[in-house]
Amino acid sequence: MNLPSISGDPNHENSHPNCDRTLQSFVDRLKRVEDRDNLVQTTLNRLRKTLGCDRIVLYYFYRRWEGQVTFESLRYIDLSIYGSTGADDCFNDTYAQLYLQGRIRAISDIETADIDPCHREFLSSLKVRANLAVPVLTDRGLWGLLIAHHCRDTHAWTEAEIEEMKRAAETVSNAPAIREL
């Protein structure tokens, strides 16, 4: 979508420059949101195809360690978890601190991994068998998590896949559309 520039006619007696500036500010913000959405969705679609996984999601933190899945790319529509808010009891300050320090969590099989039972139950409820989570960090802290799921089978994450996820998380976190919102 191409959003127009908004400007009034200064020769018109009913022209309101403040209204024009307010409307232009709104249009500019809408454009930044559109840029962010396009960047994130394109990144998720590319990652899912590159990694060959069933689902890639962006979990965005809108409050301290509270968030939801705001974007997803799916191999099968029945795997959608769009809007999911996660298991609040599982994600706490301890986990957040690890991700703030750049933790990357690769789980090849949630059934055999040494993880908290709360986390296992949560992942199982989402039909996850293998999970790869990478932090999206901005100047303001932990903005979100970029997460890849294999849902039909286990998967041993390779170093190349982990690096690809890290690069994608950095691309998202460094985008002006993310930093300026």
Residue type, 108: S
Q: For the chain, give the mean pLDDT.
A: 86
Q: Which is higher by pLDDT, 6 or 20?
A: 20
Residue 2 lies in a domain: no
Residue 78 lies in a domain: yes
Residue 1 lies in a domain: no
SS3 (DSSP) at 161: helix
What pLDDT does residue 105 have?
Answer: 96
Residue 4 lies in a domain: no
Residues 6+ apart with CB under 8 A from 60: 67, 68, 69, 70, 143, 144
Residue 10 lies in a domain: no
The CATH number for 163's domain is 3.30.450.40
Residue 119 lies in a domain: yes
Residue 11 lies in a domain: no
Query: Which residue has tokens 């969590």?
Result: 105
- The total of structural domains in the chain comes to 1
Residue 12 lies in a domain: no
The rounded distance, in Å, linking the Cα atoms of 30 and 130 is 36
Neighbours of 21 (CB within 10 A): 13
Please tell me the pTM assigned to this model. Answer: 0.82
Range of the structural domain that residue 110 is part of: 17-179
What are the pLDDT digits (tens) for 15-65?
A: 556 668 888 877 877 777 677 788 889 999 999 999 999 999 999 988 888
Q: Which is higher by pLDDT, 19 or 160?
A: 160
What are the pLDDT digits (tens) for 83-98?
A: 998 766 777 788 889 9
Percent of the chain residues past pLDDT 90, beyond the cut: 59
What are the pLDDT digits (tens) for 126-147?
A: 999 999 999 999 988 999 999 9
Arithmetic mean of pLDDT, 59-84: 92
